Structure 1
């Protein structure tokens, strides 16, 4: 992405989308980037008339309504982030397709955790699945408490995507002036690969040492790249979703990778993602390796 890439926020007029606008405005301020407000306008695809009905007052119809929705969101963003350049656009298309289409040139896409119309059931429905699966930039879901203190928490499992999440989380911690809390949760000895048999009996202390090394290895770059970011390492013998949800209660941001090993496999489509996106008590950023 270009250095001047915008933070993009999807809006639909719902209260969660308004929270996303505030969150996106804060991100744009921290990153010193422009903010782009986008509404996916699906009606033309369904061949629904979008202009004012015959004999209706001026300004009636679906498209003018969508344009007013975007204008209101732009005004809210400008009020929340004075000095940030804010633009808005109604883009014809289904919500997820529009946002994925924005992602190649975006610094980040921000969404509410629920919505109306094309954004309905954002966390559990097709919009969230498609955007998080195919967006070429990080996706930030506005949910839980809006905090300006507390650590940035990142889930770590040793995979390449987990390392991408760690880099993103460290960058967020740096611009926020916050500590980074890296959480690695495990329940069983790790499998070395497909078909690998796990031992029925294992040494808990030896296993704990191995898991400590997994976490340490994922953080090796940080001291050089982000020397001023304090890093706390947490290794928990627990389900990853539970460990991350618990850590989110004191966090200002939770960061996870789009895929992972072991318990983090299928993070966005399985139980861990659903648990985190439903129960995290802070905004959640989902990061892909190329994001």
Structure 2
């Protein structure tokens, strides 16, 4: 069964641009596009009252928003299969449920008002921290087109843990689909106590930590580089906090891919500081890929 690419739509211009981006992505992936609008209207009004009053202005608004979004998506690909649905749930619950049967979730980063912007920001963070599938949040100055990125480059953060295969595989697959170069970045730091004044490590600390970063990067990438030989792979290590290094990489990329470890038995938010920071400040769309373990 082809899992759809799911987009959360709320009528804001940001969410409509997310529809554009997701439509291009669905065409690239050759998968259906599913547009969902999360609404608690029936819960607040009650089913009996809804039947008595008939269609309400809120119902009409929901249908108009989804119809507009569907027509907008269809213009991006004539053969694209598009479905829509209004879900009587809060946004987080609806998107998390949809993510169980989706290849990815796509979210805009702004809402319909200043208040909605704040609410949508929390929705994005909670969904990214709990979803079972990759979550793509459209940050920064992207051009709303997945297939025609201005820079033809994807940035990938390679973290401390070696079990980050899902994020790596996602990044390689995305680079191959787009015909983009893949910049795999590993940040490293020299602990403050290992200064060049240390008698046993004089002149060595920085080099040793950088060499270790290179080893981790090579070990993580070798398997996927062999599996995706057509992808132009650029390996890079950089000194500094991972958050700063990846935000810098986002200024030169069309997409930034980061992993988020999911620990069994921990039902709360599981995002990590690096993913959290990139979602807030990245200059390009961010993909948070869940990693089990």
Interval of TM-score (by shorter of Structure 1 and Structure 2): 0.7 to 0.9
Alignment partner of 1:64 is 2:66:
no
Counterpart residue number, 2:16: 18
Cα distance in 1 between the residues matched to 2:129 and 2:276: 14
For 1:126-165, list aligned pairs within 5 A.
127-144=123-140, 145-146=142-143, 147-160=149-162, 162-165=164-167
Cα distance in 2 between the residues matched to 1:158 and 1:220: 16
Paired residue for 2:271, among 250, 260, 268?
Answer: 268
Counterpart residue number, 2:118: 121
User: When the two structures are superposed, what TM-score results if normalisation uses the length of structure 1?
Assistant: 0.84
Counterpart residue number, 1:194: none
Distance 1:256 1:161, change over 3 A: farther
For 1:1-291, list aligned pairs within 5 A.
2=1, 4-47=2-45, 51=50, 60-116=56-112, 120-121=117-118, 124-125=121-122, 127-144=123-140, 145-146=142-143, 147-160=149-162, 162-188=164-190, 201=198, 203-259=205-261, 268-270=271-273, 272-289=274-291
Q: Deviations over 1:132-184 (max 9, x none)?
A: 12211100011212234331101001425533211110110000011110011
Cα distance in 2 between the residues matched to 1:223 and 1:183: 14
Q: Are 1:251 and 1:282, in contact at CA under 8 Å, matched by a contact in 2? A: yes
Q: Are 1:161 and 1:258, in contact at CA under 8 Å, matched by a contact in 2? A: no
Q: Deviations over 1:65-123 (max 9, x none)?
A: 11111111111111122211111110110001001101111011000012248964366
How many matched pairs?
Answer: 270
Shift of 1:224: 1.9
Instruction: State the secondary structure of the residue aligned to 1:80.
Output: coil
Shift of 1:59: 5.6
Cα distance in 2 between the residues matched to 1:221 and 1:124: 36
Distance 1:175 1:12, change over 3 A: same
Instruction: State the secondary structure of the residue aligned to 1:90.
Output: strand
Cα distance in 2 between the residues matched to 1:91 and 1:41: 6
Q: Are 1:40 and 1:90, in contact at CA under 8 Å, matched by a contact in 2? A: yes
User: When the two structures are superposed, what TM-score results if normalisation uses the length of structure 2?
Assistant: 0.83
Shift of 1:52: 9.8
Cα distance in 1 between the residues matched to 2:8 and 2:52: 27
Counterpart residue number, 2:146: none
Shift of 1:240: 1.2
Instruction: State the secondary structure of the residue aligned to 1:289.
Output: strand
Q: Which 5+ residue runs of structure 2 have no aligned equivalent?
A: 144-148, 263-268
Shift of 1:245: 1.2
The Cα RMSD (Å) is 2.6
Distance 1:165 1:119, change over 3 A: farther
Instruction: State the secondary structure of the residue aligned to 2:103.
Output: strand
Shift of 1:275: 2.8
